[in-house]
Amino acid sequence: MPLHKVKLSDQPWIEDVYATESAGQCLPKYRIPEHPASAQAVYNLVHDELLLDGNSRQNLATFCTTWSEPEARQLMGESIDKNMIDKDEYPQTAEIESRCVHMIADLWHAAKAQTTVGCSTTGSSEACMLGGLALKWRWKTRRIAAGKPYDKPNFVCGPVQICWDKFARYFDVEIRQVPLRGGALGLEPDDLRQYCNENTIGVIATLGVTFTGIYEPVAALAGALDRIQSDSGLDIPIHVDAASGGFIAPFIQRELEWDFRVERVKSISASGHKYGLAPLGVGWVIWRDTEQLPRELIFNVDYLGGQMPTFALNFSRPGGQIIAQYYNFLRLGHAGYRRIQQACADTAQWLAGEISKLGPLELIYDGNGALPLVCYKLKDGRDHGFTLYDLSERVRMHGWLIASYPLPSDRSSTIIQRILIRHGVSRDLAQLLLDDLGRALDHLQANPVPHSSAGPTFHH
């Protein structure tokens, strides 16, 4: 056929993606379209819509991993068809999950790391709920054996992530949340006696409080519970919510005793996709030993081809994130994790020092001794003409997402701002943020915001 007679519509291989029929229409939003479209055209149109999302690397409100090595991404792509629950069909993926459980148990100083129990989850929220269920079930069993009522379980905690409020509501357990008094930023040992009783299934200690990044003193909390047991006979276990700190403390705060070295700690949960450096979608819960996970909570599934025990709040889920977690363990080792987490901590402490020089801001936590983050408030005793919510909005004009929110409970009048330093947040990126933060403060001080209605921008 002569070239001048070629019809573009008959030759898709030379047709421009943005000149297709699909590109000439708005994408459907409420009904599935009647007819198929070209894969390339649909990809480009959806890809273009996603450009409207923020840049995840500039999201310094999230604890979650936003950077992964290409090899980890490749392994996830190769595992897109692997269903984690189907251990009979994908036995090697199941074996990799088991290896991760034992590696993490060893990291957290479980005495029988090779034989203890644990499992992967979709994140630390599910891991917390599984840990809480085990606490509730063991408490209920003890109460039944003693011939006592078991209809009013409670747990004691300080400022916790929303997953514990969900656990309390979904599983009918009273949450006894200790308010922050004075200058406290977390649960204190002296708080426990007033809030614990015979119906307390456990105390939740947080290694890396969501709001401020501080570690609650697990060993000291255990000591307080030892004294309560000595006085009253109440033997109350601890679950450590180590969503972020579980993959920080073992590497850069190695002398801190918070894990299974503390006898009263019976279970620990953490998020693999936060400082565990895995891609989004994986968490872990580990029990001290097999006795801490009641057998009644484990179900055996036989309709996928073999007998498979499972303890989870979901069923089918992808195996790629677990495989990527295993890749990170092998790729980085202790030394690699230590270098990455120390680099994050160093950057956070440097950033805190620079922020302390910005006139209106007062540090609350400087990134030293706990999570690699910085949080601060506006200095008291003056009218700044703007709020931290206004400051969050101003820096967002440059792509930065920074969390601003009130402290919990009795300190809710204190509004703070928090900046996370994660893997991939380099010193240079932190400097760019600092520059934009300084310019935003200069603008707001020169242009006060009357009757500001800007509200919370808190993200976890």
Q: Is 37 left (phi over 0), alpha (psi -120 to 50) or beta?
A: beta
On whether residue 60 sits in a domain, the answer given is: no
- The residues that bridge with 362 in the sheet, in sequence order, are 377
- What six digits make up the tokens of 67? 């950077």
On whether residue 62 sits in a domain, the answer given is: no
* Same domain, yes or no: 30 and 10: yes
How many structural domains does the chain have? 3
On whether residue 456 sits in a domain, the answer given is: no
Query: Residue 434 is part of a domain; what is its CATH number?
Result: 3.90.1150.160
On whether residue 107 sits in a domain, the answer given is: yes
Per-residue confidence (pLDDT) for residue 453, from 0 to 100: 52
Per-residue confidence (pLDDT) for residue 341, from 0 to 100: 98
Per-residue confidence (pLDDT) for residue 445, from 0 to 100: 95
Per-residue confidence (pLDDT) for residue 307, from 0 to 100: 64
Under 8 Å between Cβ of 300 and 262: no
pTM over 0.95: no
Give the sheet arrangement for strand 154-157, strand by strand.
118-121, 283-287, 265-271, 238-241, 200-206, 154-157, 174-177
Per-residue confidence (pLDDT) for residue 12, from 0 to 100: 57
Amino acid at 380: D
* Same domain, yes or no: 25 and 172: no
* Same domain, yes or no: 44 and 77: no
* Same domain, yes or no: 373 and 420: yes
* Same domain, yes or no: 100 and 178: yes
Domain carrying residue 16: 3-53
Per-residue confidence (pLDDT) for residue 454, from 0 to 100: 54
On whether residue 133 sits in a domain, the answer given is: yes
Strand 238-241 and strand 265-271: the pairing is parallel
- The residues that bridge with 271 in the sheet, in sequence order, are 283
On whether residue 454 sits in a domain, the answer given is: no
* Same domain, yes or no: 285 and 354: no
Closest CA to 284 of 341, 228, 322, 235: 322
Tell me how crowded residue 354 is: count the other CB atoms within 10 A of its CB.
15
Per-residue confidence (pLDDT) for residue 337, from 0 to 100: 98
* Same domain, yes or no: 325 and 341: no
* Same domain, yes or no: 342 and 294: no
Per-residue confidence (pLDDT) for residue 293, from 0 to 100: 92
CA distance 16 to 20: 7
On whether residue 59 sits in a domain, the answer given is: no
Which portions of the chain are predicted below pLDDT 50?
1, 6, 8, 458-460
On whether residue 63 sits in a domain, the answer given is: no
What's phi and psi for 89, nearest 5 deg? Answer: -80, -30
